[in-house]
Amino acid sequence: MMRALAVAAAIACGAGCGGDPDPIPVTVTTTMFADQIGTFVELTGTSNLRFDPLASAPTGDGDGFQVTIADDASIPLEGYRVDPLDGASRSFVVHAHDVLGAQYGLAAALENLGYRFRHPDDVLVPNAPSSEGLGLGVVHQPQTRVRGFQFHTLHPIESHYALIMGDLDASLRIIDWTIKNRGNYIQWVILDDILDPTRGAEWTAFTRQVIDAAHARGVRVGVNIQLFGKSNLQAAFDLVDEDQDPVPAQIAARLPIVTALPWDVYDLSFGEFFDAEPQPFVNAVNEVASQLRTLAPNAEMHATVHVGGTQRVMYMNQDIPYYFLVKFADPAIVPEIHSVMYYDLFESAGGAYQYEGPFDEHRQYLVDRLCAQQKVAYFPETAYWIAFDNSVPLFLPLYVKNRWFDLSGIRTTAAPPPCAPLDEHLIFSSGWEWSYWLHDTTSLRASYELPSAPVDLIYDEYLADLGPDAAQLVADLADAQHTGLMDDKLAAYFSGRDALIDAGRMLGVISQPDRTTFDDLVAGDATLRGTFDATIMASLQTHADQLDDLADRADHLSLPDTRWSRELRQGVQVDRVRARFVLATYRAVLDHLAGDDAAAMDDRADAQDALDEATQLVHDRDGDLHDPDAKHLLVRGANRTVYGYGYLFTADTMCYWLRELDQVDAILTNTDVTPPACVL
């Protein structure tokens, strides 16, 4: 704990404060939920925030601010109201009636003073707090019952190093950060290394500490496990291997390893791309439900309903997506309706997982459950990581826009009455650097109270330190990305491609949207190239011009020199440079195929210039990350995933960019250059 506090105190003012040597103190007073409020204050990690558990009322005196928490039976559970104390402009009273409402209200009171809880390791702490009048005198209450994260710890992300590698301080900060952003639930994916008895005992002891800490703060906890080993591509803990004992016996052998801990939710997943036969699928799911009813009778069972455009089965005379077989299993199972990347439930998925249109069947499944007054979760992503976004890297506030759009669309489509409101919003979280914390904080807070527009979420996050012009810039970037990446189908060109993605394409296994590759242009005819030039290249040029304008705006913003402002500017710039790099590489190939090798080499030089600029941007960002142990995110090193490196390794090495440039060189010079695989 002391390391956590030292780290937080050191980086909070380094990143967000103005260097004032005498920060104005803020004193929190309450006799209500003193242990939880004391932990909240402690984990905020700044010396000017103090906790007095003996005082029960503000005095309005002193040089600093005062926040008092008062029990108020009129406030709904997990709700709060923050009132200014009469005649005392620096004193506030938080009204709440339960442990989460008290913590949410304190977070809101501090946000009113300029605090922001952006990243578990990096709190924006103002040196000169001042009341901003945010949400005062209004009762705030949750619009969605369950609000939280699945930390996708199969990936080598920050939460993997915390929750799987056994960093208790970091795990406590993640719980605290979830609460401060109005969440009440966390879940993570466990790995099959716990089948080893020694590792299993170590894991059980550590995980029990994390679960107990979450429960003490009022947060429920879930575990994600996989059912079938044959579709388990990332070393998750699974229950059923092939060609072994009967399925019930396999489940009975493994499930007690997990149920030895007091999880609130057991979430069953079914992997990707590889199917089981329908009836054995349903039987196995029901067997898990039956055994859980005995082993963990007070827990919920959930099941992930993934996407897969070509994964369809016939069952009960119905042609359905494979993952919809959950419908025919135990009715007590709560389905978690998944979507991927920044795509939403209402618009075209652009070819992701081979969906050219929207995930309309998944949307209807969710709406049908709501309108039947049955529990259902919506399970969208705020990062995809592998070769798609923060590992390229790209800054994609489009996620903020589309996660808001989903919640708004679900509310409109399944309007009560007779439909129930969305019961659970579970956010698939996969990394926080390159401003991806923004996707998580805004999505979680939107499930507590949905504002009238996504721009409101962005303004709430940035106004305290970077101001309205910076907030509007991010909102405009999100709008431009919606047009360019979704409407004009440029997503595939901004993301990276590794050797596995190329191999999967040959087998008909598609995850991220597919693209016309350099080799496709070489193998195609003049008509194909002309069409590509007139459509994709024209759209790339238009979007690149937009990004140039946005980057110029970012450079001319009058901002304090902080980690937050640097991260914002570097994110906008890396998007701009990525667009110029993609344009130059494709133009080089097209010019070469048209017989103009001189122009092709000029294009190639432009691509190199863009790569050099991007490399410097990434180098600068790598030296300024939020995570105090950031090195393990950037290099090859020990973790328990199938990946031998942290999730920013391919961004740090610029692997996807180098791979593409090598592919272009092989075409321009007709050599046998072997591009890096960018895999494992």
Rg (C-alpha) for the chain, rounded Å, is 25
Q: What is the pLDDT of residue 29?
A: 83
Quickly state the pLDDT bin for 397 (edges 50, 70, 90): very high
CB 45 within 8 A of CB 123: yes
Question: Nearest-CA neighbor of 183 among 156, 206, 209, 217?
Answer: 217
Q: Which two tokens stand for residue 412?
A: 């409109």
Task: Tell which CATH architecture fits domain 146-463.
Answer: Alpha-Beta Barrel (3.20)
Quickly state the pLDDT bin for 131 (edges 50, 70, 90): confident
Residue 388: pLDDT above 80?
A: yes
pLDDT tens column, 45-99? 988 898 888 766 665 556 788 899 999 999 999 999 999 887 667 889 999 999 9
Q: Which fold has domain 2-124?
A: Chitobiase; domain 2 (3.30.379)
Alpha carbon distance 186, 178 (integer Å): 8
pLDDT tens column, 317-365? 999 999 999 999 999 999 999 999 999 999 999 999 999 999 999 999 9
Q: Based on the number of CB atoms within 10 Å of its own CB, is 343 exposed (0-12), middle (13-18) or buried (19 or more)?
A: buried
Quickly state the pLDDT bin for 6 (edges 50, 70, 90): very low
CB 584 within 8 A of CB 602: no
Task: Kindly give, in sequence order, each residue whose CB lies less than 8 Å from that of residue 137, ignoring residues fewer than 6 positions away.
Answer: 81, 82, 83, 84
CB 422 within 8 A of CB 409: no
Give me the residue spans of the domains in the chain.
2-124, 146-463, 479-669
Q: What is the pLDDT of residue 52?
A: 85
Question: Nearest-CA neighbor of 120 among 2, 7, 263, 18?
Answer: 7
Quickly state the pLDDT bin for 412 (edges 50, 70, 90): very high
Instruction: Please compute, for residue 509, the number of CA atoms within 13 A of its CA located in the half-sphere on the CB side.
Output: 11
Task: Kindly give, in sequence order, each residue whose CB lies less than 8 Å from that of residue 259, ignoring residues fewer than 6 positions away.
Answer: 266, 292, 295, 296
Whole-Å CA distances, 427 to 336, 454, 583? 11, 17, 33
Tally helices (H) and strands (E) across the chain.
23, 18
Residue 23: pLDDT above 70?
A: no
Quickly state the pLDDT bin for 258 (edges 50, 70, 90): very high
Residue 15: pLDDT above 60?
A: no
Q: Which residue has the higher pLDDT, 638 or 472?
A: 472
**Average pLDDT of 549-578?**
97
Across 608-652, where does the E strand assignment appear? none
Q: What is the pLDDT of residue 14?
A: 38
**Average pLDDT of 282-293?**
97
Q: What is the pLDDT of residue 88?
A: 64
Q: Which residue has the higher pLDDT, 11 or 627?
A: 627
Task: Kindly give, in sequence order, each residue whose CB lies less than 8 Å from that of residue 596, ignoring residues fewer than 6 positions away.
Answer: none
| 3-class DSSP string for 3-26 | HHHHHHHHHHHHHHCCCCCCCCCE
Question: Nearest-CA neighbor of 48 among 132, 126, 131, 118?
Answer: 126
pLDDT tens column, 453-508? 999 999 999 999 999 999 999 999 999 999 999 999 999 999 999 999 999 888 88
Q: What is the pLDDT of residue 87?
A: 62
Q: Which residue has the higher pLDDT, 23 or 537?
A: 537
CB 83 within 8 A of CB 53: no
Residue 211: pLDDT above 70?
A: yes
Residue 537: pLDDT above 70?
A: yes
502-521 CB burial, b ≥16 within 10 A, e <16: bebeeeebbbbbbbbbbeeb
Q: What is the pLDDT of residue 56?
A: 62
Alpha carbon distance 202, 214 (integer Å): 19
Residue 12: pLDDT above 60?
A: no
Q: What is the pLDDT of residue 57?
A: 64
Residue 574: pLDDT above 50?
A: yes
Quickly state the pLDDT bin for 18 (edges 50, 70, 90): very low
Task: Kindly give, in sequence order, each residue whose CB lies less than 8 Å from that of residue 294, ignoring residues fewer than 6 positions away.
Answer: none
Alpha carbon distance 382, 265 (integer Å): 21
Cis peptide before 297 (omega within 30 of 0): no
pLDDT tens column, 24-48? 778 888 888 999 999 999 999 988 8
For the residues of 41-87, what is the DSSP string, one character each? HHHH--TTEEEETT--S----SSSEEEEEEE-TTSPTT-BEEEEETT
Q: Which residue has the higher pLDDT, 599 or 274?
A: 599
Q: What is the pLDDT of residue 3?
A: 31
Outline where 524-596 has alpha helix (H).
526-532, 538-555, 563-593
Alpha carbon distance 263, 159 (integer Å): 18
